[in-house]
Structures are given as C-alpha cells and as structure tokens.
Structure 1
Amino acid sequence: MGWLLRIKLNSIHAKLLATYLLLTTLGTTLMAGYILWSFHAYFMRTRLADLENWTTALSESAADALEANNLERVKVLVQRYGAPQTVTLRIFNQKGFLLATSDPQRDTQVTNWYEVSGMWEALQNRPAQGVAKGVLSTQDRLYIARPIWRNGQLLGVLRMSMTLDQLQRQFARVIWSVLGTLALTILVCALISTRLARSLSKPIETMRNFAIRLGSGHFGDKLVIRENNELDQLAAELNRMSERLASLDQERRAFLANVSHELRTPISNVQVTVDALKSGAYEEPQLRDRFFQTIENEIKRLSRLIHDLLDLGRLEAGVTQLEQQIFSLQGLINRAVSAMEPRMQAIGVSVRVNVADLKLQGDPERLLQAVLNVLDNAIKHSIPDSQVFISGFTEGKQAVIKIQDQGKGISESDLPRIFEQFYTTDPSRKGTSNGLGLAIAKRIVEAHHGSITASSATSQGATFTICLPLKARTDIKSNVSLNKEDTQVELD
C-alpha cells in the first residue's frame, strides 16, 4: 500500500512539473514565434517600401529618357542605380525587349522575359511585386515590376529586384537571439516549476505519512503544514480527526476495562458461591437459601448489565427506532412516580410533583426510561425522610423537566463526568450500580434532540434538568424497530 501511494505521489510531482513546463514552453514558443513573425514581416515591409520608393522615382527618370528615345541615358540610369551583387535594375520597352540592365552577363542568357516573375503583368499595365527566385539563380529576391507611362502611353517596364541574403542573415541573428532567450527562459521556468511542484507535493507526502500512521493506530499525532492555503486547512482537519480518534480510542479502552471489571465481579461472586455449595454449604438449608439468593441476585445483575450495554450500544450507533407519538408530559411523570413509589416508601423518601399539562412528540417509553433512570439516581442518593422534587414547565420552545433531590450533592470534580459510562461518584456503591443509567438517559434525550444537564450545591442535593423541544419533530434518529418489552430501567 505504501509503495502504491509513493508511486501516485511521484506521479503527482511529475504531472505538476510536466504541466508547468508544458505551459511555459507553449507560452514562450508562441510568444517567440509571434516576435519572429513580426520581425520578418517588418523587414519585408521595410525593404518593399524602399523598392517602391526607388522604382517610383526611377520610373519617372526612365520615362523622360524613353520619351526622348535616349537609350544612352537609360543605360546610364541603370548602371548608376544598379548593383550587380545586391540590386538588379532592368528597363524594357513596351514589347518586352530588354533595353538596359545592371547585370548584362546573366541577362544575355535569358531568351524569354515573359516567363520572368512580374513581367507579364507589368506589360499588361498591372504592377507586380513579391518574392521569387532570381533570374537564372536559386536565390530568393524581392522584386517590383512597374509599367512606365507617360501621357497615357505605355513606354516600357521597369523591373527592380534585390537580394534577401542580407535580410536573411540579419533575421538569422534575430532567430538565434530569440531561441537563446527562449531556452534560457524555459530553463529558469523549469527550475521554478520544480521548486513549485515540490512545494505542493511535499505537504501531500507529509499528509500521506500522517494518514499511514493513523491507519496503524498511532492516534494523537500532530501534523504541521505551513502553507496558508487549502492544504493548511486540510492539515487542521486531519489534526482534529487524529485528536477525535485518540479520544475515541481512549474511550474504547476505558469502556472495555470497565465492562471487564463489571462482568468479572458478579461472575466471581457466582463462582465463589457455587464453590461454597460444592464444599458442603448445600447441606445447610439456611446457608443454602442465602447462597441461592446471592446467585440469583448476581445473575439478575449480569442480565441488567448486558441489557444496558446492548441498549447503550444501539442508542450510540443510532440504530434504535424511536416511535413518534403525541403524549402528555404530566402522564409520563405520573407513570415514573408510580413505578418508583414502592421503592421510595421502603427507604422513607417522598416525592412532590408540579408538572404542567404539556404535549410532546416522541417515544414515550424511551423517555419514560430516561426519566426513571434519573429519578432512580435521585432516590439512591437521597437521605431518609427527605423529598424529591419533580417540576415540568415551558421555557421558550422547550419543555423543561427538573428532578431535584436532597442528598449530599455531587462534587465539582465528579459533576462533568456523571454522564460517562460506568462512572460512579461513590465507589462503595459499585456492587449495586453499573454506572450506565445516566449515560443511557443522556443518549435517549439527545436522540429526541434535547439536552440533559446536572448541577449541585454541597449538602443541598443535585438537580437534573431535561430539556425537550415542544415543536413536533419528524427527524428523530431511527433505523430499526425496538420492542416495548426491551425497555428496562436500572432500579438498583
């Protein structure tokens, strides 16, 4: 798995680098191409403009000489402005016969001037210009063939051409300069792209290693990414996930330890009692009955513990379907008091109820279980001849249920943890309580989108406050059905 992740990581780095280089190369190449094309077009326009200016001026002089039928003057004009190596100037009569040329050695070999570029158009009174191969040569030359007119009469044709060697040499220097700049730009961009790609892939590699450690069970590690972007936010989320996993792992370990302890105690008691019966206690009726009662009590305790664990597991997993019924809060509290009345009478605790007639929506049996668990806790911690006060009223959009006892209260150190699984404030009560009642009550209330809190003052008892929404809710957490007979309350 780590090898595959490393391949993917390297692929990310390679893809980022390749993308940056491709974009850089494409952009700089397009820009260089546009610059070269612009330079070439500029040079050609400049040379063509020079040719046009020269041929315009020379055609006027040639027209004067041809009109006067002065061929010597025409030859002098050609020799003066023509250069054998760079500029070739030719003047023809109206029939295409060569009158004068600045390159006589080459031109004497031409038999048909109509095949020379631009000549046919010029003799048809149409100026022509462009790039073509030189006469009897393979070099590219820029030419203009212009008809010579005077007083509406075609006197001849002036054809002027210039070599592009100098232009091509200049353009070649420009090309090499641009290509050198292009190569240097790509090299610099490659170095920058490598650093940028690594700066993006390095945090991903760190996160990958961090995720591998989380997958290996190393919870609580801290991931530090200083990017000031989305990667930094992702690192913060991974840190929160790590902290949450560490907390869940700690809770799981504590839960397993508590379950082991709670199961070991009654099983050990049953085992000791059975061993005692095997050793001869069975023959004494009075001792035998007491041992059987002990076994029965411990089995009931195990049954309640297992049921509460299953119940708590279903509530935490959200797989308990809560029925939606409209019920009376007053009727719910009266049912809870009636169920607890024999126990309260046995220990000399009375109850005072002041509950408004409110209508709630939810699962009345589950809420009854939550109220019974809280009321059971109040009774267990009440002193003889004391009272438990139960009140119910509205506060905003919530129904508030308060259950207050007159016991010794809850210390400040215990108060934040009383809703934890297996937590008890009195170690001496470990034999009669498994510490799941308040945890189950909390899960039930929260499943109804409510809340439960506890407050206490030293030697003045504890007050538990349950808040439930008055407005009908249709999105109560539910997934699977639960039979009514599954509802059981811890009444130790």
Structure 2
Amino acid sequence: MDWSPIRIRWNSIYRKLLVTYVALTALGTSILAIYILWSFYGYFMKSRQADLDAWSAALGESIADALEEKDLDRAKLTVQRYGARESVTLRLFGADGHLLSTSAPEIDRQVSDWYAVAGVKEALQNKFTHGVAKGILSNDDRLFVAKPIVRNGQMLGVLRMSITLDQFQRQFRSVIFTILGTLVFTVLLCAVISERLARNMARPIKAMSSFALQIGQGHLDGNLSIHQDDEIGQLATELNRMSQRLASLEKERRAFLANVSHELRTPVSNVLVTVEALANGAIEEPELRDRFLHTAQDEISRLSRLIQDLLDLGRLEAGVTLLEEQPLRLQDLIDRAVRAVESRMRSQSVGIDVEIPSVQLYGDPERLLQAFLNILDNAIKHSIPNSTVFIVGKIESGQIGVQIRDQGPGISQSDLPHIFEQFYTVDRSRQGSGTGLGLAIARRIVEAHGGSIVASSKGEGKGAIFTIHLPIDKLL
C-alpha cells in the first residue's frame, strides 16, 4: 500500500504551517517597511533641519552686519528678499522683542504675543532653538530655527526662520502608499510561495500520520514512499522499519499462539483419550491400566513443564522478572549444573569434560543455573552414546566465554538462524521430547545479565557449539 498520494486538506498541520509562514512574512516585511519609513523620515528631517540651520546662520551674519551699522532698511530688505510666501517665513525681532521685519505681514498683524511663538522667548534669552512647531495662525507643521543675533557680546536681535513641511508630508504620504502597496504585493506573493511550501511539508507529515493510524488499526502491510534527505525522510524510513518489525512480531505472535495451541492440545488430547479409555473399561485390566496411568502422568508432567516454561519466557520478555543478583563463582555454578544432569548423562553413556577458569560473576545464580541447564539439556539430548560434552571457559576482554560443545549430529546452516526461536526444534522426529522453549529462555536469561549467546556448528555430524558470554565481576 502506497501512502504518498494522500490529498492534503485544510486540516491542522497544513493550516498552521501556512498561517505561520504568512504571519512571519507579514510581520517581517511590516517591520522592515516601518524601519525604512522611520529612517527615511528621520533622515529627511535631520537633513532639512541642517539646511535650515545653515541658511539661518548665513542670513544671521548678513542681518547682523546691517544692524551693527544701524542700517535697518538693509536688514528689512534681506528679510523680504529671502522670505518666500507660505513656504519660507523670516522674522526679525529687536533685542526688546518687538517685531522689526517679517516676510508675512498679513499674518503677523494678527499676533499679539510673540513670546508665545515657539523659539522666540528662548532666543531673546540668547539661546539657539530649533525644532518642529505648528504654524502661527495655521495648523500646518513647520520646521523652525530661532537664532539670537549677537556681535561683540551685544544682543542685536533675533532671527526666526521657518519652512513648511506640507510638501514633504504629501510626498511622504505618497511614499507610504507606495511602500504599503509593495508590502501587500510582497505578502500576497509570499503567501503563494508559503502555500506551496506548506503543502510540500504537510503532504509527507499527513501521509505519515495516516500511515501511523493504519498501523494502529492493525494494517501492517503498508509502505511509505517518501524519499527526502532530511529528518522527515529519516522518520519515514523509521516508520517503515517499525511497520516491518511490527509485521514480523505479529507473524511471530501468530506462530507462537499456533505453536502454544498445538503444544497444549497434544498432551491434553492424550490425557483425554487415556481417561476415556480408562472409563470405558481399561481400568479393569491392571497391565493396561498401569500403562495408561503412566502415559497420563507423563503428559501431565509435560504440560506442567510447558506451562512453567511459558510463564518464565513471558516474564523474561516482559522484564517483570527481578534478578536476585549476588557475587558467585562460575566454577560452582557449572558444578551444580553438571551434578543436576549427571545421572541422565550416565544413563545415556555421555561423558563430560569441564575446564573453567576461576572467575567471579555478579548475577542471579538460580536463573543462570537454569540457562546452563537448558543448554546442557540440549547438548545431552543430541549427543550420541559414548560421546563427550565439553565445557570450556576463556577470558576475553573483561568477559568470560563459556563454550558447551557436544559430539552429536550438529546443526545445519539453515537451522542456525532459528535455533533460539520459540518452539523451534531441529530434530522433528523428537519434537515431543521437549517444549521447544529451553534455548529461547536461556537466551533471555543471558541477555538479562548483560551477556550474549550464540550457536555455531562445523556442519552435520560434527556437533554443535553454544557459546555464552557473561561480564566478569573479578578474577579469583
């Protein structure tokens, strides 16, 4: 099943990505536009103020010369010449604050208090003042400078010069509308690009979301076709691996249930048949009765072992089995295992050769004993009469490797990868002699102790070798 062509709708991830992209674009361009307008306005105002200061300084020198020579007419002529109607206004005040000359007499006739005009009072106090203020009898913004005229330490008068900002404000509004139009166009263009980016990003996320939902519903045969060299591609790869692993686990689970059902059905059926035979009259014949009772006892014992092995394996795989760890000598552990199987080995004419270095482990002695017994049980089961089982230990890089080698028929290369699987039995003809869980339980126990176990064989007829690696606590 291919999940790549899933249609993207206006759902959460797509909408959030698109809104986020557009909002960030609008915010970024708005901040940039505001900064540009603010910088442009500030630069213009500083530039015009600097020009106004320079003009007033030049005119102030010319008027100072005239006032120093008592040539008031020349001073008035200068004011009239450089004052432009409505755009530039020049006013000349005497040292006592009276208006001597103006380039806007129609307006100035209506002013009764010049001290209330911005900058005049300060200039009469010999303070240079400039800034922005409203027109004297109008509401337009004007840039002004009020400059005291001083020669040889004597106050001769005050020159106030102002220029209107109306033309600049009209131009600035035009610039604002231009920038706003550009801003809207940029946001719309970025919205189109963002929609494509959001769609491209949301598509694989939506596909993976749907794929995960399908996995949650138990459909494990799908596959994500997302090929991207980034985190999304890596996530898709991991989801595919997870799906494959879950499918494999589901297959193993079904096989496990089938095997459990088969293994439980066989002894239960045998016991049921035996009981029915006894109930149908076999109990009256002593020899037949004893044989049937012995059969029922064997099957019940086998069923008990199977149930116990299933419980042990379930606890180990679930990690609920607590290990009672303590220091222990490996030699003592091997000796206990050998003593437990000694009578069985003698009955089958199988010898044993043990060569274990003196080392101390840290683990659960009963669980480790169970693991070694399961491996030894497997070795004895497949040993031929008059053969030997070898147990050899070697220290390797802080670990002890314990080899348990038999001289039986060995394990074929096709069986080796499955030897530790649950209910897997190499010798099909002897399937009823064990539960098929011993090696699986041994592997779980060894892994729970931080070790590992591997099986190898040089071929059929050359025996099998099981190697258990366990971390060493210390050398003795």
How far apart are residue 103 of structure 1 and its match? 2.5
Q: Please give the alpha-carbon distance, in whole angstroms, between the structure 2 residues aligned to 1:466 and 1:109.
A: 112
Q: Please give the alpha-carbon distance, in whole angstroms, between the structure 1 residues aligned to 2:46 and 2:364.
A: 91
Cα deviation code 1:134-163 (max 9, x no counterpart): 232222222233333445443333333222
Contact kept in structure 1, 2:374 and 2:439, CA below 8 Å = yes
Contact kept in structure 1, 2:353 and 2:391, CA below 8 Å = yes
Partner SS, residue 136 of structure 1: coil
Q: Please give the alpha-carbon distance, in whole angstroms, between the structure 2 residues aligned to 1:466 and 1:429.
A: 25
1:160 is aligned to: 161
Equivalent residue letter for 2:454: T
The 5 Å alignment of 1:45-64 reads: 45-64=46-65
1:218 is aligned to: 219
Q: CA distance change for structure 1 residues 317 and 127 in 2, over 3 Å: closer, same or farther?
A: closer
Contact kept in structure 2, 1:329 and 1:355, CA below 8 Å = no
Matched, 1:392 2:398: no
Q: CA distance change for structure 1 residues 434 and 148 in 2, over 3 Å: closer, same or farther?
A: closer
Equivalent residue letter for 2:471: P
The 5 Å alignment of 1:98-177 reads: 98-177=99-178
Q: Please give the alpha-carbon distance, in whole angstroms, between the structure 1 residues aligned to 2:127 and 2:49.
A: 17
Residue 469 of structure 2, aligned match among 463, 467, 470: 467
Contact kept in structure 2, 1:328 and 1:357, CA below 8 Å = no
2:378 is aligned to: 377
How far apart are residue 230 of structure 1 and its match? 2.9
Q: Please give the alpha-carbon distance, in whole angstroms, between the structure 2 residues aligned to 1:21 and 1:303.
A: 69
Matched, 1:37 2:20: no
Contact kept in structure 2, 1:326 and 1:359, CA below 8 Å = no
Equivalent residue letter for 1:370: A
Partner SS, residue 392 of structure 1: strand
Contact kept in structure 2, 1:392 and 1:399, CA below 8 Å = no
Contact kept in structure 2, 1:114 and 1:120, CA below 8 Å = yes
Q: Please give the alpha-carbon distance, in whole angstroms, between the structure 1 residues aligned to 2:345 and 2:65.
A: 140
Further displaced range: 150-159 or 439-448: 150-159
Equivalent residue letter for 1:316: E
1:360 is aligned to: 360
Say how many residue pairs are matched: 463
Q: Please give the alpha-carbon distance, in whole angstroms, between the structure 1 residues aligned to 2:153 and 2:323.
A: 110
Q: CA distance change for structure 1 residues 428 and 188 in 2, over 3 Å: closer, same or farther?
A: same
Q: Please give the alpha-carbon distance, in whole angstroms, between the structure 1 residues aligned to 2:134 and 2:300.
A: 114
Q: Please give the alpha-carbon distance, in whole angstroms, between the structure 2 residues aligned to 1:171 and 1:157.
A: 32
Contact kept in structure 2, 1:147 and 1:156, CA below 8 Å = yes
Partner SS, residue 159 of structure 1: strand
How far apart are residue 12 of structure 1 and its match? 4.5
The 5 Å alignment of 1:69-468 reads: 69-219=70-220, 221-347=222-348, 349-356=349-356, 358-361=358-361, 362-384=363-385, 386-396=386-396, 397-456=398-457, 457-468=459-470
1:487 is aligned to: none
How far apart are residue 220 of structure 1 and its match? 5.1
Q: CA distance change for structure 1 residues 209 and 101 in 2, over 3 Å: closer, same or farther?
A: same
Contact kept in structure 1, 2:133 and 2:143, CA below 8 Å = yes
How far apart are residue 305 of structure 1 and its match? 1.4
How far apart are residue 11 of structure 1 and its match? 4.2
Further displaced range: 248-257 or 61-70: 61-70
Contact kept in structure 1, 2:132 and 2:143, CA below 8 Å = yes
Q: Please give the alpha-carbon distance, in whole angstroms, between the structure 2 residues aligned to 1:26 and 1:470.
A: 63
Contact kept in structure 2, 1:388 and 1:403, CA below 8 Å = no
Q: Please give the alpha-carbon distance, in whole angstroms, between the structure 1 residues aligned to 2:343 and 2:62.
A: 138
Q: Please give the alpha-carbon distance, in whole angstroms, between the structure 1 residues aligned to 2:145 and 2:179.
A: 31
TM-score by length of 1: 0.84
Equivalent residue letter for 2:60: S
Contact kept in structure 1, 2:380 and 2:389, CA below 8 Å = no
Q: CA distance change for structure 1 residues 246 and 107 in 2, over 3 Å: closer, same or farther?
A: same
How far apart are residue 435 of structure 1 and its match? 1.4
Contact kept in structure 2, 1:378 and 1:388, CA below 8 Å = no
Q: Please give the alpha-carbon distance, in whole angstroms, between the structure 1 residues aligned to 2:104 and 2:216.
A: 89
How far apart are residue 262 of structure 1 and its match? 0.8
Further displaced range: 204-213 or 256-265: 204-213
Cα deviation code 1:103-124 (max 9, x no counterpart): 2333333333333333333333
Q: Please give the alpha-carbon distance, in whole angstroms, between the structure 2 residues aligned to 1:203 and 1:389.
A: 58
How far apart are residue 254 of structure 1 and its match? 0.8
Q: Please give the alpha-carbon distance, in whole angstroms, between the structure 2 residues aligned to 1:107 and 1:183.
A: 46
Cα deviation code 1:434-467 (max 9, x no counterpart): 2122222222333333333222222222233333
Cα deviation code 1:212-254 (max 9, x no counterpart): 1121112353334444333333333333322222222111111
Q: Please give the alpha-carbon distance, in whole angstroms, between the structure 2 residues aligned to 1:334 and 1:64.
A: 125
Q: Please give the alpha-carbon distance, in whole angstroms, between the structure 2 residues aligned to 1:63 and 1:30.
A: 48
Q: CA distance change for structure 1 residues 389 and 175 in 2, over 3 Å: closer, same or farther?
A: same
Q: Please give the alpha-carbon distance, in whole angstroms, between the structure 1 residues aligned to 2:102 and 2:27.
A: 49
Q: CA distance change for structure 1 residues 43 and 471 in 2, over 3 Å: closer, same or farther?
A: same
How far apart are residue 46 of structure 1 and its match? 2.9
Q: Please give the alpha-carbon distance, in whole angstroms, between the structure 1 residues aligned to 2:181 and 2:226.
A: 39
Partner SS, residue 320 of structure 2: coil
Q: CA distance change for structure 1 residues 472 and 109 in 2, over 3 Å: closer, same or farther?
A: same
